[in-house]
Amino acid sequence: MASASAIGKLSREEYRRQKDLDAARKAGTAPAALDEEGKPINPHIPQYLAQAPWYLDSGAPSLSHQRRQEAPPKESINDWYDRGIKAGPAAKKFRKGACENCGAMTHQKRDCLERPRKKGARFTNKDIQADEILQDVPAGYDAKRDRWNGYDPSEHKKIYDEYAAIEAERQRLREEEIDKQTTTDLAAVRKVAKAGKEADPDFGSSDEEDMDEDKYADAADAVGQKMDAKTRITVRNLRIREDTAKYLINLDPSSAYYDPKTRSMREAPRKDIAPEDATFAGENFMRWSGEAQAVQQLQLFAAQAASRGNDLHFNANPTQGELLHEEFKQKKEELRDTTKVSILSKYGGEEYLKSAPKELLQGQTENYVEYSRSGQVIKGRERAKARSKYPEDVFTNNHTAVWGSWYDKATGVWGYACCHSSLHLSYCAGQAGIEATNASTAKSLLSQHAEPAAPPTPRDDDRPKKSAKELYEDRKRKMRGEDDEDDVRNGKKPRGTALDGGKVDLTEEELDTYRKKRSMAEDPMANYVDAGDDF
């Protein structure tokens, strides 16, 4: 069966003949189509199987695209070109078309891997390199993307050998330093032991010497420590396994927080134990113990001095920083004493400074005192009560009590308890003053009950409300000096003014009217006038 691409665009007549031929081949009356290998093609194969895709179409009937294709030979990932192999001896003269830098014919100047020369082989005809062997190594998909393709693993053994040699030499030097130091220490011990044996024949033995050797050997390299052979300084580099970790002291989740990144615990894990008795009291306790505060002050002084332009650094030269800090504190104390003396000489008051410290005046004492059940002192001296800075128990004007010791519930005033006088700094009248005060209080209460009750004042709700127009007329009348019509109608006398020297009596209604009509400067609508107002 021919493919559609081989047939091309058929006319109606050609298409009809092709259909008839396919039907005859299926019926067996026409011979089957042959492929490129001469093999017959089964006419009953569907068209979607017999028709080759456009990228495999050979232009003739074929079923090769349905058969298994032979796989190309698989390249080995270990196949690679040989590096550095030369084709033969180098040429003696420069050849045309060769590299202008090294003189080899297998590459150009832009691809040359030799060091660029000041004058290339083209001009000097010297040191011409041999031609390389160019190998065509077929690389598959994986080989092209393998970063270690062509690498010789045996080259990495050189790095191992180099590091092993360095480590072996370092170990040998360390052992020699330890042997020298141990030999020196043992020589000194044996010298002392020999001197003791001369004085006492029974002194020392081989067992004791062995014990001494073991002692020095144990001290040479302890567990959890490292020793610098040059300085003979032992440095703790790891926590000893016998020590309890901070986070294991208290397993309560609500206890002190432990930061695993910095391995720090600021608060104390056990609050029920005093910091002095606890094995670990927190980083904050250790931070403020010993000379930590002095070191912090020294660091602050160095930082402030460096910010002012002084050449001072705490870590670079700590001795200089400490000396300057001591000098600074000494000058500060001298300046303080000088300022204090100058102020006292100018203003006085030195006698007030000659007193006991405040800690002794208000602090605790070591005086032992025993009290009975009733509060009396049995043994020791009772502690003096603290007194205020104000004068106490000072009586003036013959009084025997202080002001404010008596309160009158009837009038609600304070006074003296000795004479019941409510006038401050008055002269004490004694019992006579008490009797006179009681008599005057009783008379005032009796007069209040005997007077008739005043008529009730009409409330604002009971008064007739005036309209805005009536209030405006009353205001104009008062500005002209005329009396109010309600006052004339009710028979009230005309009210005087402050300018006439008369007494001004204002009623509650007048005060309410004044509050409503008074102008407020801060009111933004005070000067607003509506064009629709009739008055």
Q: What is the pLDDT of residue 120?
A: 93
Q: What is the pLDDT of residue 216?
A: 46
Lookup: tokens for 349: 């008051």
The DSSP string of 157-181 is HHHHHHHHHHHHHHHHHHHHHHHHH
Cβ atoms of 203 and 147 within 8 Å: the answer is no
pLDDT digits (tens, 9 = 90+) for 362-375: 666 667 778 788 77
Residue 34 forms beta bridges with which residues?
A: 40
What percent of the chain has pLDDT above 90? 15
Enclosing H/E stretch for 36: none
The DSSP string of 282-344 is -HHHHHTSTTHHHHHHHHHHHHHHHHTT----TTT-HHHHHHHHHHHHHHHHHHHHHHHHHHH
pLDDT digits (tens, 9 = 90+) for 18-47: 899 999 999 989 998 888 888 888 999 888
Question: What does pTM read for this prediction?
Answer: 0.24
In the numeric block, the tokens 């190594």 are attached to 137
Q: What is the pLDDT of residue 352?
A: 80
Lookup: tokens for 245: 């970790």
pLDDT digits (tens, 9 = 90+) for 406-465: 888 878 889 999 998 888 888 898 888 888 888 887 666 666 665 555 555 555 445 556
Question: Cα separation of 163 and 172, whole Å?
Answer: 14
pLDDT under 50: residue ranges of the chain: 1-7, 199-225, 228-233, 235-237, 460-461, 493, 496-503, 535
Q: What is the pLDDT of residue 219?
A: 45
Enclosing H/E stretch for 361: helix 358-362
With b for 16 or more beta-carbon neighbours within 10 A and e for fewer, the 2-31 pattern comes to bbeeeeeeeeeeeeeeeeeeeeebeeeeee
Question: Cα separation of 67 and 404, whole Å?
Answer: 125
